Structure 1
Amino acid sequence: MKVNYPETPAVQVRHKSFKLADVDPDSEKPFKHRLTNQDEAHPFMDALRHRLCELQELLYAEHRHSILLVFQAMDTGGKDGLIENLLTGVNPAGVQVANFKAPSTDELNHDFLWRIHAQTPKRGRIGVFNRSHYEDVLITRVHGLIDDDTARQRFEDINNFEQLLTRNGTRVLKFFLHISKDEQAERLQARLDDPTKNWKFDPNDLKERALWDDYQRVYEDALRHCSTDDAPWFVVPANHKWVRDLAIAEIVVAVLEEMNPKPPKPNFDVSAQVIV
């Protein structure tokens, strides 16, 4: 489905010729046309979160549709912070968050989408995937667990899966939080420098960092093959956290506004009810 998305620094992937390198992780355009500094973004973000809370309540009450937000990023890309900031104030009863780690033995005994489908949002919910089914065409390719032909088959399976969700009332929005390699280095160092953040550092992150170019290649391939009108991919400049958060909030709120959830009509005569 085609939607008039708001103008933000996020870039919607529309063509097979898309190049990740063409998106500047430092970009603040077009926000710089309406904001002169980061502090001015706070009232906009507060208003968007307030409206998101209102729309989430209506979505929950209507109980007909759902929305799934998929977040992918390189290590330190900011998924956790973004999710926390975006959903501040939203009723937890109306949110489902799934954080996908390495598959278990049981999960490996099924198709790669089996564990994913079980975590998709119920009607009336906002679903959040912190990492997702895309790990099975990203890390698996970089580490040689699947070949290119298998990846192509999985792209087709993913597109069909997301189309199935859409046809059954779940809107799918996918966001790649795009940071630079230099920014990642600074964030990793910050975790080492701050004793309260040491727990976030994993020495294995440095091994994955050494594969940066390979990850950029497979991300680009997945974005090209799996961005559709029904389930678009957005590449979000994420070196500046306020840009990242504001861009995604504007897109999510715009889509929920377009979905236009409404509370159900009561199945009883309201005027006949007397409270004593």
Structure 2
Amino acid sequence: MKAINPDDFKVIKEIDLLQIPTNLFNEASDDAKEDKLDEVQAKLSALQDVMYAHNRYGVLICLQGMDTSGKDSLIREVFKEFNPRGVVVHSFKTPNSTELEHDYLWRHYLALPEKGKFAVFNRTHYENVLVTRVHPEYIMNENLPGIESVDDITPEFWENRMQQIRNFEEHLTQNGTIVLKFYMHLSKEEQRKRLLRRLEKEEHHWKFSPGDLKERDRWQDYMNYYQEAINKTSTENAPWYVIPADDKEMSRYIVAKIIWEEMQKHTDIKEPELDDKIKMNFAMYKEQLTKE
């Protein structure tokens, strides 16, 4: 199986999504991909245990992608070996009335990972420069000063929001949160097949919504805004990775491998050393417990 190099997926210069494949067409079997994923799962689980003891970093994993791009199943498969206390998943849907009484980043601050833990954002703060650009009328629900109608939402508004997101992520990374962002790059044809499966398989009916087809009609708008957001917010400290998502098994392995490789750069993550005086008395503690 071809080795995965995180740098092949990392956005370090301006990209054109049309030029990036949605499938690696890797020759490996699904079983081989799953075996590779199993290996990385175990490593990540052990790493998180060490992180918990080290208690200096939190990790924020951001997942974005069109409907059916495999975000839910990726979370289930990549993080299933984690200690439940070590990972928290947040799925951000339409803001509720309480959330709309605050700025658009407020609810994301509340969901940030504690030190020693992973947080996974299934849809993220980027919805505020993606869905809201396709549907700018949603901005009106935020009740912002100076925005009386959709006509007041200028290109400068979106530029400012991109800068606010960069500032948000810079603040996080400067305070001990490792930020990794993944765009699940799905082809329109593969989405069509997956939506059809939701209609054809009764056990998947609950996943289908007519709204999926309405959003699909805006596919090119979404691609344009995804591309712009990725290009403007991929930074050294909070990079974007564009993940080919037509092959679910391969995309899961790629994401897991990238997380593992990126975490290896933080060489200071180690289990804390016990005080020498405590270690010197191990025999005494053992004897005390043995005699009980």
Q: Same fold (TM over 0.5)?
A: yes
Indicate conservation of the 8 Å contact 1:172/1:231, yes or no: yes
Q: Specify which structure has the higher proportion of helix.
A: 2
1:133-167 deviations in Å (ceiling 9; x for gaps): 00000000001235332111111000010011000
- In structure 2, which of residues 157, 162, 186 is the aligned counterpart of residue 155 of structure 1? 162
1:12-51 deviations in Å (ceiling 9; x for gaps): 2222x311111110224xxx4xx54332222211110110
- In structure 1, which of residues 253, 263, 267 is the aligned counterpart of residue 271 of structure 2? 263
Indicate conservation of the 8 Å contact 1:9/1:243, yes or no: no
For residues 170 and 6 of structure 2, what CA distance do their matches in structure 1 show?
25
Q: How many residues align?
A: 266
For residues 193 and 239 of structure 1, what CA distance do their matches in structure 2 show?
19
**What residue is the counterpart of 1:95 in the other structure?**
87
For residues 186 and 36 of structure 1, what CA distance do their matches in structure 2 show?
22
**What residue is the counterpart of 2:16 in the other structure?**
19
Indicate conservation of the 8 Å contact 1:10/1:247, yes or no: no
- In structure 2, which of residues 160, 167, 171 is the aligned counterpart of residue 164 of structure 1? 171
- Return closer, same or farther for 1:38/1:150 CA change in 2, 3 Å cut-off: same
Matched, 1:139 2:131: yes
Indicate conservation of the 8 Å contact 1:10/1:235, yes or no: no
For residues 156 and 170 of structure 1, what CA distance do their matches in structure 2 show?
19
For residues 187 and 116 of structure 2, what CA distance do their matches in structure 1 show?
36
- 1:49-68 map, 5 Å: 49-68=41-60
For residues 264 and 101 of structure 1, what CA distance do their matches in structure 2 show?
39
Structure 2 letter corresponding to 1:176: Y
For residues 59 and 12 of structure 1, what CA distance do their matches in structure 2 show?
24
For residues 39 and 121 of structure 2, what CA distance do their matches in structure 1 show?
24
For residues 172 and 67 of structure 1, what CA distance do their matches in structure 2 show?
6
**What residue is the counterpart of 2:110 in the other structure?**
118
For residues 259 and 8 of structure 1, what CA distance do their matches in structure 2 show?
15
Q: Which runs of 5+ in 1 are unaligned?
A: 1-5
- In structure 2, which of residues 216, 221, 236 is the aligned counterpart of residue 229 of structure 1? 236
Matched, 1:248 2:240: no
For residues 8 and 118 of structure 1, what CA distance do their matches in structure 2 show?
29
Which segment drifts farther, 174-183 or 97-106? Answer: 97-106
* Percent of aligned pairs sharing the same letter: 38
Matched, 1:215 2:222: yes
Larger radius of gyration: 2
**1:8 Cα deviation after fit:** 5.1
For residues 72 and 214 of structure 1, what CA distance do their matches in structure 2 show?
15
Structure 2 letter corresponding to 1:262: K
**1:254 Cα deviation after fit:** 0.9
1:39-91 deviations in Å (ceiling 9; x for gaps): 22222111101101110100111111111100001001110000001001110
For residues 89 and 38 of structure 1, what CA distance do their matches in structure 2 show?
19
Show structure 1 runs of 4+ deviating over 4 A. Answer: none
Alignment root-mean-square deviation, CA: 1.7
Indicate conservation of the 8 Å contact 1:98/1:129, yes or no: yes
For residues 220 and 237 of structure 2, what CA distance do their matches in structure 1 show?
29
Q: TM-score, normalised by structure 1?
A: 0.92
